Amino acid sequence: NLGRVDQVSEFEYDLFIRPDTCNPRFRVWFNFTVENVKESQRVIFNIVNFSKTKSLYRDGMAPMVKSTSRPKWQRLPPKNVYYYRCPDHRKNYVMSFAFCFDREDDIYQFAYCYPYTYTRFQHYLDSLQKRNMDYFFREQLGQSVQQRQLDLLTITSPDNLREGAEQKVVFITGRVHPGETPSSFVCQGIIDFLVSQHPIARVLREHLVFKIAPMLNPDGVYLGNYRCSLMGFDLNRHWLDPSPWAHPTLHGVKQLIIQMYNDPKTSLEFYIDIHAHSTMMNGFMYGNIFEDEERFQRQAIFPKLLCQNAEDFSYSSTSFNRDAVKAGTGRRFLGGLLDHSSYCYTLEVSFYSYIIGGTTAAVPYTEEAYMKLGRNVARTFLDYYRLNPVVEKVAIPMPRLRNEKMEAQRRKEKAPPYKYPLLRGPASNYPNGKRDKKSSVNHKDPSNSF
């Protein structure tokens, strides 16, 4: 996403974000490339037409950058980023960043946050399908206005899908707001954990049915919109009466949820919609307010448990509300539709960073840290349903090996080997549910050469 570029001088450019399609109100997400650079060329880029005034740029957030010779996304140094009200642009807020290009043959790419494209998502689902797991099912629930797929994943033991079997369903959705890319990384973390051979994942598949629609707004994602669909709708305000013509993906998901709600064999236990937040730190949740005090208290249990499992999740930032402006959201609508045994949440995660309890230092999120939050969300269902004793039975200890070479190898590999590399890390190594004290994510990248 980039709308227009004005060259101010040899060393300075004004950049205009293209507004969301059919909706000029939203101008936040950017993702563009720069080429034809000179070595050691210093340039100032000014992004001059943000639609929001509050921003994490005031708290140290910086744009992402990568180049053809360094394909891993990195954050620019915050000292090179300025966010201010500018008299030259009708007192709009402007984000300026200075950058020194260092390789003439490279094409450089800058973005608001780590991109997660529709194409990447489709490749990811294709790779999961090729593994032929009998507990992973992918189907097309419908199509977007531009005929892109609305994918629905079901992750559960095949026994739970037998005709007449009773089902406890956890329904998870993501990317209803297309520019909120961290949502996709968190969602991938949840999926990766649930399809793994980790003892906790196996127990969760036996007891629960996970229904996941990871990308509710594929057209918006493809187009580079921040908040809206192709036709300019904020889909998360249209849950009350989605049109099969104008909001087909939302309509399809809502129909499925109502169908499950009306099935006496199906108990829809959780609905979690994953978002990213542009002004807050950490992960946190929004929940609903109920007249029934006991139901209101029960609703706080899951976020409290998640807070114990995930160092980046903040219970103090979690809030419960019924603002009129949020009435058309999935959380609010389904919270009103479903009965007292169902819990509906919006899970938010910062575009920028988290602050670990007891400290004041902001730790910038990485792609891996977003996925780790997803793994911890999945693990928290084990605590919620008190399935920890079941895991201990599943995680049968290895028999002692007499061969000394094999014994040495076993000591080296304390954690079971995983076929899928994303599952390595603290969320995958604690079958007894104990919280890890140290983050596995190395936030200082020694290869940072920008």
Structure tokens that stand for 140 in this block? 């097309």
335 contact partners, CB below 8 Å, separation of at least 6: 287, 288, 342, 344
- In the chain, the largest separation of any two C-alpha atoms, in whole Å, equals 77
Residue among 206, 348, 367, 413 flagged as catalytic: 348
Identity of the residue numbered 163: E
* Cβ count within 10 A of residue 160: 18
CA distances from 382 to 92, 134, 352 (A): 48, 21, 28
* Contact between residue 62 and residue 80 where contact means Cβ atoms under 8 Å apart: yes
| Burial environment of residue 163 by CB neighbours within 10 A (0 to 12, 13 to 18, 19 or more) | exposed
For 396, the 3-state DSSP assignment is: coil
* Contact between residue 166 and residue 397 where contact means Cβ atoms under 8 Å apart: no
* Contact between residue 224 and residue 31 where contact means Cβ atoms under 8 Å apart: yes
Whose CA is closest to 430, among 387, 395, 404?
395
10 part of the active site: no
217 contact partners, CB below 8 Å, separation of at least 6: 144, 175, 176, 177, 178, 225, 229, 235, 249
Q: Are strands 4-9 and 12-16 parallel, antiparallel or unpaired?
A: antiparallel
Whose CA is closest to 175, among 148, 203, 138?
148
Identity of the residue numbered 26: F
The residues that are catalytic are 348
